[in-house]
Structure 1
Amino acid sequence: MEKRAFQRLSVNLQSRLFYGNMVYTGIVTNISENGMFISTKMSFPVDSVFIAIILLDTQTLSIPVKIRRTVKAAEHSSLNEDCGIGVGLLNTSKEYLDLVSKTKAAV
């Protein structure tokens, strides 16, 4: 079993995924210092690189990401699990790390 380098923190944040010349919607369901999971019905190839925008109350965060894994509905053993993409951050901004810190403090 793979051990994660950073703790996952549950969130529920609207996002926009800028892939090619298209914009898709998603919901960020968990974050960590080096990645996040985005629930989306769209399927993207693993290793794809694109910009994810997280929509916060007072600002938006633009984050370059790379898809590490995809999760499809047929792979689920429970309906409570999300379908979507696990992404790694290519460039971690101070604003993103502040979001992670604030989320940790609220737990």
Structure 2
Amino acid sequence: MKDHEIREPAVLMTAAERLQIDASGITAYGSVIPIDCLSKRELQVAHKIMEGCSNKVIASELFISERTVKFHCANIYKKLNISNRSALIAGCFRTLYQEATSL
């Protein structure tokens, strides 16, 4: 049985990439996610998604059906030009990072 060695690059990010991030921050598609375009209910669903809740849990906590949660998710993804929960979470993190670096 052979031992497998995992090799990782010594440098995960170049100096130029670090400077670019420090200068402009990390944002989704080059701009901050326009979270204010979402309705009140879509924001509630988005917050539950960011908490890591499943559609079933979101439906239960917001007193709506799972189908309605899926409908709100589709609207959120369309309005924010993203395709899934991971992109929503990453985009919101990037937006918060951008706001924090601009202070």
Question: Which has the larger share of helix?
Answer: 2
Same fold per superposition (TM over 0.5): no
Q: RCO higher in 1 or 2 (8 Å CA, sep ≥ 6)?
A: 2
TM-score for the superposition, normalised by structure 2: 0.26
Question: Which has the larger share of strand?
Answer: 1
Structure whose alpha-carbon radius of gyration is higher? 2
